[in-house]
Every structure is written in structure tokens, then in C-alpha cells.
């Protein structure tokens, strides 16, 4: 059996961090098992779906490195849904209902007032052919419900949550099609999973009850259902569900300078028993991915943790991986010199400015004589060797200075800053002429 997973976003907005995590885990499982990862655009809601979001979803997945093996669009599959619908209707698995939204709301309120669960009472099943004809003659068009079987519990072994059991009698027959003929999520998704040969569905735990309903749809269509993995939802660093996570997506990450490798490294392990590590390559993340490692506690997303992983990822990136994003003229030596001080790659431009200049040297009056001597020594050094250690050794001997009193005035004069990359790596890049100029009070 070839494992097939799918990521099925609705193009009503851009991907947020929860969507990204779902896509990543489907991708990881497909890659680990040698299977396929498919993108399915769930665009049945024509009123809310926009092509600009379809393009954005593809672009975001590409940026994240989550290449898919194929793509389907629900808007191109209506004929399939119609055929399945008619078969299910003829078999009695689907029935028309005529209540308005207001009438259904009133029924729920009455049930709540009696201390009963808000379950649809199946009143539509009691209608005769004449009743239905009369309603339709009045211009009332039906919506359509899937009829749940109550004869046996709905059960499955979830790859994350373990054994699951639902009683269909405690659940409303789900509406699968609106009165205007448009589709809701439930039935088209099940039809597509069958038609696409999907073997594993990885999604959030908020879909657990949907899965119970869809399992009966798979059975009604005579199909073996996929295996399901329902993962705990993401929460913010404060430990609560956060609206902010619903808007935090690829665009926000890119604006912050977050690398896709950092996002993958964090979200691959978030919610598992494995430590989050700055793993830049996908291979180790794929190899270690295992649903058995996921817990049922909410997975906590922390911006500070992502930033820390991002910094460590950047410190591991080779020049060839970033060359096209560096300032013109910045080479391997410059990258390797400044890389340990970066938190985002964009900061490399700041240090390139320090190397190339001009720099506003910071010189205290008390250090003027010391720096005058430093300029003289720097002009006479052999710059082909190790100018920084040669310079500091000569100045230590001539001035008696050591530690901060020796190094800080030199760094401030040469870079205009109190902190930064290792001066032994930076000074040769600054060069003799610029160094002498900056050291001269």
C-alpha cells in the first residue's frame, strides 16, 4: 500500500501557523513512509474562495519546502459529488429537510430549556411525499442531511488519541448540502479521500466529531476509511488558545526574518516528547517523525522558542545557502565572520556596512593617545598573518593595558560598536587602510 496524505486548505485566507503544522505533519508522514503528499484545494464555497489565496497557499508551501506530488481542486469535482449524492439518496442515506435556520435555532433553544442536547429531531423523516410536495410548492427548497446509523457505536483507533468511541444517537444528522445546492465540508471531503486513495488523514483534534460522522459516510459508500491522526491544537505561550495564532502565517514569519528551516524544526516536534532542536535538514525530522510521540496536551507555540531555533539555524547555514540574500560584494569570509552574531540574515547587511564603512568611530578622550599608538602599529603590521592578535599583543606590551581596557577602545574605534563578531575575523576584512583611518583620533 502506498501511503497517501493530503493537505486540504480552503482558499478563504492565507495559511496560519496551525495550517502550516498540519501540512508539515502530512508531508513528514508521506516522506517517512515513501508515500505521496497531495494538495487539495477545498474551494466548494465559491462566495468566499479567492484565487489570490490559492496562489498564496502554493507559494507558502513552496517557501516552506513542502513540495506536493499532485493537486486537486474540489470546484472541478462537482460531477463526482453529484453522482455519489444521487447514489446515497437512492439508498436512503440522505434525506431532504425543510426547516429554516430560525426554526432550527428555536428547536435547539427548546431542547436546551428542557435540559436536552441540541440534537436534530429528524422531523423531516416523518414528512410524506405530499407534505414535501406542498412545501416545495410554497417555494421552500430543502437542505440535505446524512442519516446516521444508530445500531452500533462509531469506533476507531486514532493514531494520536487512541481508541475513540461515539454514539451516533447522540449526534445530529449532519447537513451535507445547502438549499441552494452548494456543498458543506463533510461529504465532498469523504468522497475525495476515497477517490484520491488517501490512506492517512492528519488534522487537528477539533475534527474528531467530524471523523465520527465521516466514518459512517465511508461505510455508506462501501469504502475503507483512511487512518486518522487527530493532533492537539496549538496554544499561545501563555497556555491559552490565542486568536493571534490564527493570523500568524508565512508572511509574518518572513517579515520577522524567520527561516523556513526554523519553522519546520519547531513545528515538527511541537506537541511531541522529542526536544525541539535546530535541525536545518529535513532528513532527521522525517526519520524521527512518529505519531506515537505526540501527546494529547495542547501544543504550546512560543515566539521566543522559534526565534532561538531560528538563530541557531542561521548559525549553521553555509555561505552557498544564503549568498543570493547577502549584500553585493559580501563573500564567504565576510559571511563566516559575521554569522555567529546574527539573529536574522538581514542583519548581515549591517555588518557589511561596518566592514566597508564609513563608520562613525567611538573614541573617548582618555583613549586618544592609546588609539594614536594603535593606528601607528596597525600601519606597520604584517596584514597577511593575524593582524588582530599582533596588534593587541604589541599594544599590551607598550601600554600595559589588558582585558576590557585594551580591547573595547579598539572595537569601538574600528566598528563604532561595543559588541560584535570576533575581531580576529573582522579586522582582516576591514583592511589596513580603513583600520588606520578609524583608529586615528
DSSP string, 33-75: TT-EEEEEE----TTT--HHHHHHHHHHHHHHT---SEEEEGG
Q: What is the DSSP string of 260-324?
A: HHHHHHHHHHTTBSSPP----SHHHHHHH--GGGB-SSPEEP-HHHHHHHHHHHHTT--HHHHGG
Phi-psi region at 327: left, alpha or beta (left = phi > 0; alpha = psi -120 to 50): beta
Return the closest-CA partner of residue 332 out of 318, 345, 349.
318
Question: Hey, which residues does 71 pair with through a beta bridge?
Answer: 39
Return the closest-CA partner of residue 176 out of 228, 131, 135, 221.
221
- Residue range 80-177 forms a domain whose CATH class is alpha beta
State phi, psi for 207 to the nearest 5 degrees. Answer: -100, 5
Per CATH, domain 243-314 is 3.40.50.2000: no
pLDDT for the residue 237: 77
CATH architecture of 365-439: Orthogonal Bundle (1.10)
CA distances in angstroms from 28 to 57, 280, 285, 293, listed in the order given: 18, 14, 8, 14
Helix axes 17-32, 51-64, angle to 10 degrees: 50
Mean pLDDT of the chain: 95
Return the closest-CA partner of residue 196 out of 435, 417, 26, 13.
26
pLDDT for the residue 246: 74
pLDDT for the residue 245: 78
State phi, psi for 350 to the nearest 5 degrees. Answer: -65, -45
pLDDT for the residue 16: 92
The residues, any chain, with a CB within 8 Å of residue 305's CB and separated by 6 or more, are 266, 276
Residue ranges matching CATH 1.10.1160.10 in the chain: 243-314
Return the closest-CA partner of residue 338 out of 261, 259, 423, 279.
423
C-alpha cell at 210: 467530524
Q: What is the pLDDT of residues 63-81, one digit of tens each?
A: 999 999 999 999 999 999 9
pLDDT for the residue 255: 94
Residue ranges matching CATH 3.90.800.10 in the chain: 80-177
The CA-based dihedral angle spanning residues 138, 139, 143, 149, taken in that order and rounded to the nearest 10 degrees: 30
Q: Match domain 4-72+187-233 to its CATH number in 3.40.50.10800, 3.40.1280.10, 3.40.50.620, 3.40.1190.20.
A: 3.40.50.620
DSSP element (H, E) containing 190: helix 186-195
Sign of CA dihedral 303, 309, 315, 317: negative
Maximal C-alpha separation, the chain: 110
The residues, any chain, with a CB within 8 Å of residue 251's CB and separated by 6 or more, are 14
Question: Could you say which residues of the chain have pLDDT below 70?
Answer: 239-243
Answer whether the bond into residue 389 is a cis peptide, omega within 30°.
no
- Is 243 known as a binding-site position? yes
pLDDT for the residue 242: 67
Residue ranges matching CATH 3.40.50.620 in the chain: 4-72+187-233
pLDDT for the residue 241: 61
Sign of CA dihedral 64, 239, 247, 178: positive
Residue ranges matching CATH 1.10.10 in the chain: 365-439
CB 310 within 8 A of CB 262: yes
C-alpha cell at 310: 531560528
pLDDT for the residue 240: 66
Q: Using DSSP, state whether 249 is helix, strand or coil.
A: strand
- Cα gap 407→428, rounded to integer Å: 16
Amino acid at each position: 500500500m502506498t501511503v497517501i496524505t493530503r493537505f486540504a486548505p480552503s482558499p478563504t485566507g492565507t495559511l496560519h501557523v496551525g495550517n502550516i503544522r498540519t501540512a508539515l505533519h502530512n508531508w513528514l508522514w508521506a516522506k517517512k513512509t515513501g508515500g505521496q503528499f497531495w494538495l487539495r484545494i477545498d474551494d466548494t464555497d465559491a462566495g468566499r474562495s479567492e484565487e489570490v489565496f490559492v496562489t498564496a497557499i502554493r507559494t507558502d508551501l513552496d517557501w516552506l519546502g513542502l513540495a506536493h506530488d499532485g493537486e486537486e481542486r474540489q470546484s472541478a469535482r462537482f460531477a463526482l459529488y453529484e453522482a455519489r449524492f444521487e447514489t446515497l439518496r437512492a439508498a436512503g442515506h440522505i434525506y431532504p429537510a425543510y426547516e429554516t435556520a430560525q426554526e432550527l435555532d428555536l428547536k435547539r433553544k427548546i431542547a436546551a430549556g428542557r435540559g436536552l442536547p441540541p440534537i436534530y429531531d429528524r422531523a423531516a423523516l416523518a414528512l410524506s411525499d405530499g407534505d414535501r410536495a406542498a412545501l416545495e410548492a410554497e417555494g421552500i427548497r430543502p437542505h440535505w442531511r446524512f442519516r446516521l446509523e444508530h445500531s452500533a457505536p462509531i469506533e476507531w483507533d486514532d493514531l494520536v488519541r487512541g481508541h475513540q468511541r461515539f454514539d451516533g444517537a447522540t449526534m445530529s444528522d449532519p447537513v451535507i448540502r445547502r438549499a441552494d445546492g452548494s456543498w458543506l465540508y463533510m461529504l465532498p471531503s469523504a468522497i475525495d479521500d476515497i477517490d484520491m486513495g488517501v490512506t492517512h488523514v492528519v488534522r487537528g483534534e477539533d475534527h474528531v466529531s467530524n471523523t465520527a460522522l465521516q466514518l459512517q459516510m465511508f461505510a455508506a459508500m462501501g469504502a475503507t476509511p483512511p487512518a486518522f491522526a487527530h493532533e492537539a491544537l496549538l496554544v499561545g505561550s501563555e497556555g491559552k488558545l490565542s486568536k493571534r495564532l490564527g493570523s500568524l502565517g508565512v508572511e509574518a514569519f518572513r517579515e520577522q526574518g524567520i527561516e523556513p528551516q526554523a519553522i519546520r524544526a519547531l513545528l515538527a516536534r511541537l506537541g511531541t516528547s522529542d526536544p525541539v532542536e535546530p535541525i536545518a535538514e529535513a532528513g532527521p525530522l522525517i526519520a524521527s517523525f512518529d505519531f506515537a510521540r505526540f501527546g494529547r496536551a495542547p501544543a504550546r507555540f512560543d515566539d521566543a522558542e522559534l526565534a532561538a531555533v531560528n538563530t541557531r539555524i542561521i548559525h549553521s547555514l553555509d555561505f552557498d545557502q544564503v549568498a543570493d540574500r547577502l549584500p553585493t560584494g559580501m563573500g564567504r569570509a565576510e559571511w563566516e565572520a559575521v554569522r555567529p552574531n546574527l539573529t536574522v540574515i538581514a542583519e548581515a547587511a549591517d555588518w557589511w556596512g561596518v566592514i566597508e564603512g564609513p563608520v562613525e568611530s567611538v573614541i573617548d578622550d582618555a583613549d586618544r593617545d592609546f588609539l594614536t599608538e594603535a593606528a601607528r602599529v596597525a600601519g606597520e603590521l604584517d596584514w597577511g598573518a593575524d593582524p588582530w592578535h599582533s596588534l593587541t599583543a604589541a599594544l599590551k606590551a607598550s601600554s600595559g593595558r589588558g582585558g576590557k581596557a585594551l580591547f573595547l577602545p579598539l572595537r569601538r574605534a574600528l566598528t563604532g560598536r561595543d559588541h560584535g563578531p570576533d575581531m580576529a575575523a573582522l579586522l582582516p576584512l576591514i583592511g589596513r587602510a580603513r583600520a588606520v583611518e578609524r583608529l586615528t583620533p
